[in-house]
Homo-oligomer: A and B are copies of this chain.
């Protein structure tokens, strides 16, 4: 390691001296400006390669007041949905010449605005991606607007016209799942919902219930568990993973005297937990219990039996978010709704005679 060793880095001026032009012209070449003659361009390019010039992003940021950094908040219990989101966002950023910076925020203990203030904020990202829940923290949105930082919301619940957002068709996916389960003959349902503050939680829950009731069911056919209740029950030091939360929910739901024949969960991670719990209790899936999730994240095909779920186009959501943040000029109130699609796998089946 040569840390400590002083290395004056190669600058525009060095290149300029070699190529016999001004630094500004080199800058033009580096930034692909037009209005540079082909010969000059070639000569400069040669000089750049020769001494291995590397633009200094800090200097550029300072001069342009543009960092080319995209910030992304993630929740502490990482679902598979988020892992995929992070991955695709990384790739999209790169394609557009930006870099992705990750920030973790547990809204159950910290205010998102506070986390932002003490962390990402003075990085002055060019744009910020705010996933569900976080994106409904009005203090945070205010703060971002004060800083005039661009941001995009993923699945916002409130003030939809305030800023651009991307979301999946939560209601549509839920409706499809409900129809599917009903048509298989299920009449008694367990549900595990997400965090109530998230729009997706409400939309997925309500669409499901509404569809069942429209089909002929009633509200008394449901056993509903809310995710926060599960998280609260956790004794351990580490936050409960969503899969573990699902397992816990399974313990509760499957012990009921009137056991549901189908369970629908807020996302695939929770559903995976239910499947595991069913295995542990000797309940066979899908013969004795059907389970459906949401997202179609990696985990869906990793369960056994593989999970019936509503596919959200996670990669597309991430790409669109990055696109919105990096488009120039910025389009004020873009709203993109990605459609969801029912994916039937082996975790759901016709209702059996228990």
Contacts and interface: CB of A to CB of B under 8 A. Distances in A.
A3 interface: yes
Interface stretch (A38-46, A189-197, A222-230, A298-306): A298-306
Chain A, interface SS category = mixed
A37 to B, nearest CB: 26
A104 B99 contact: no
A234 interface: no
A121 B124 CA distance: 20
A57 B122 contact: yes
A78 interface: yes
A298 B241 contact: yes
Interface residues of A, number: 62
Contacts of A164: 1
A219 interface: no
A2 interface: yes
Given A57-B123, A104-B91, A122-B55, A302 B276 contact: yes
Given A87-B104, A90-B103, A332 B1 contact: yes
Interface stretch (A20-28, A59-67, A178-186, A251-259): A59-67
A64 to B, nearest CB: 9
Contacts of A329: 3-4
A305 B100 CA distance: 37
Given A99-B120, A104-B94, A272 B302 contact: yes
A303 B272 CA distance: 9
B62 A59 contact: yes
A22 to B, nearest CB: 21
A70 to B, nearest CB: 10
A109 interface: no
A150 B78 CA distance: 29
A90 B106 CA distance: 13
Contact of A54 (B1, B67, B122): B122
Contact of A2 (B61, B67, B145): B145
Contacts of A140: none
B78 A148 contact: no
A317 interface: no
A199 interface: no
A202 interface: no
Nearest to A164: B1
B3 A243 contact: no
Contact of A124 (B56, B67, B74): B56
Nearest to A119: B94
A2 B303 CA distance: 46
B1 A163 contact: yes
Contacts of A121: 54
Given A3-B329, A101-B101, 17 more contacts: A1-B150, A3-B148, A3-B150, A54-B124, A56-B62, A57-B122, A57-B123, A58-B124, A86-B86, A94-B104, A94-B119, A99-B119, A99-B123, A100-B101, A100-B102, A241-B298, A243-B301
12 contacts: A1-B148, A58-B59, A58-B124, A78-B83, A86-B86, A99-B101, A99-B103, A102-B102, A243-B298, A243-B301, A276-B304, A299-B302
